[in-house]
């Protein structure tokens, strides 16, 4: 499970999970290869909205919270 940390262009995004793919080295993914949900990592979103970079532990915490609630997420597809 990943969160989108940046929209590169109409075809690509950068994703991170805070563990294997850290915010310092996000993975470039083709949007066509992702499965989208409407679930948001609110704390990560608020950092990005302020123009700040969330720390890896914030990303991990938000993804864990989503998983613990049994919700989906952005899945490599």
Residue ranges for the chain with pLDDT beneath 50? 74-77
> What per-residue confidence (pLDDT) applies to 71?
65
* Cα–Cα dist 46/58, whole Å: 11
One-character DSSP codes across 25-53? SPEEEEGGGEE--S---HHHHHHHHTTPP
With 0-12 CB in 10 A as exposed, 13-18 as middle and 19+ as buried, what is 3? buried
pTM: 0.81
> What per-residue confidence (pLDDT) applies to 77?
41
- Count the domains in the chain: 1
> What per-residue confidence (pLDDT) applies to 76?
47
> What per-residue confidence (pLDDT) applies to 59?
96
Domain that holds residue 12: 3-76
> What per-residue confidence (pLDDT) applies to 37?
83
């Amino acid at each position: 499970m990943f969160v989108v940390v940046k929209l590169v262009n109409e075809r690509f995004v950068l994703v991170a999970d805070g563990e294997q793919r850290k915010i310092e080295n996000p993975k470039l993914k083709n949007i066509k290869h992702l499965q989208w949900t409407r679930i948001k990592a609110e704390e990560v979103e608020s950092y990005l909205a302020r123009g700040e970079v969330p720390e890896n532990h914030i990303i991990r915490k938000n993804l864990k919270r989503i998983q613990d609630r049994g919700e989906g997420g952005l899945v490599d597809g």
